[in-house]
Structure 1
Amino acid sequence: MTAVVLNSTITCPACGHRKDETMPTEACAWFYECEHCKALLRPKPGDCCVYCSYGTNTCPPMQQSGCCGF
């Protein structure tokens, strides 16, 4: 079994700003505010969270089971 990666670099689609973040382990992040341009990011259709849409790693629930409970 592969270890869950808790860090992800999230990239703002509006301005391209990148930031390393630690993902929550027990919930999906439905919103994320870019610290550079203040854009409010939401998941793309079909994704469970902003990390699955804009991060370098998918959220922990998706890494563990391929499903986040939706």
Structure 2
Amino acid sequence: MPDAAIELRSTLTCPHCGHQATETMPTNACQFFYDCKGCGMVLKPKPGDCCVFCSYGTVSCPPVQADGKDSCCR
């Protein structure tokens, strides 16, 4: 039985200004920084998370989805 499809788009919500932007996630690496298009703040992962998508996105990053984990890749 094939694994569930990996979702490549996630909506990031800036914790500073609330701006939301839907972005395509990289499939081969975690994204450590993201420049908010609303306020210009540089988002960084929360402690214990591997990337900004796991911290601020509606969908976890592809490596986490592929591993079927609720926590971020290490």
State the TM-score bracket (shorter-chain normalisation): over 0.9
Q: How does 1:1-70 map to 2 (within 5 A)?
A: 1-65=3-67, 66=69, 68=73, 70=74
Bigger radius of gyration among the two? 2
TM-score by length of 2: 0.89
Deviations along 1:12-34, whole A, 9 cap, x unmatched? Answer: 00000000100000000000010
SS in 1 for 2:23: strand
Structure 1: how far apart are the matches of 2:65 and 2:22? Answer: 18
1:27-68 CA distances to partner (integer Å, 9 max, x unpaired)? 000000101100000000000000000000000000001353
Which segments of 5 or more consecutive residues in structure 1 lack a partner in the other structure? none
Q: Where does structure 1 differ by over 6 angstroms across 4 or more consecutive aligned residues?
A: none
Q: CA RMSD in A?
A: 0.9
